[in-house]
Amino acid sequence: MILNTLLVVLTDLAAHLLGNTLFRRHFHLLLSAMVMFGPVLSLWVSQHSVFAKKSHFLYRMFLRSGWGWTCILVGSFVFLLSFSTRRSLSLSCRHLSRLGAAGGLWFVFCKLLDLLENATGSCYEPLVGSPDINNSQPVLVLREGESKAECLRAGMLWRGYEVSEDVFLLCLCCLLLAEETAVFGPYLSQGGFSDAPLRILFLFCVLLLCLWLFLLLCLLAYFPQFPTQLLGGALGCLSWRGLYQGWYCQGPSWYCPGGPGLGLFKNQN
Domain ranges across the chain:
2-43+52-113+162-250, 122-159
Q: Give the whole-angstrom CA distance, residue 88 versus residue 166.
A: 36
Please state, rounded to an integer, the average pLDDT across all residues of the chain. 88
pLDDT per residue as tens digits for the range 234-254: 999 999 999 999 999 987 888
Average pLDDT over residues 181-203: 90
Whether residue 2 is predicted with pLDDT greater than 90 in this model: the reply is: no
126 backbone dihedrals φ, ψ, rounded to 5°: -60, 145
So what's the pLDDT on residue 195? 87
Q: Which helix (H) or strand (E) holds 126?
A: strand 122-126
pLDDT in tens, 141-168: 556 666 777 887 877 878 778 899 999 9
Q: For position 75, what pLDDT does the model report?
A: 96
Query: In whole angstroms, what is the distance from residue 201 CA to residue 208 CA?
Result: 10
Please report which helix (H) or strand (E) contains residue 139, including its range. Answer: strand 139-141
Dihedral sign for Cα atoms in the order 45, 46, 50, 55: positive
Count of CB atoms within 10 A of residue 164's CB? Answer: 25
* Helices and strands in the chain, H and E counts: 10, 3
pTM of the model: 0.90
pLDDT tens digit sequence for 127-141: 655 544 444 455 565
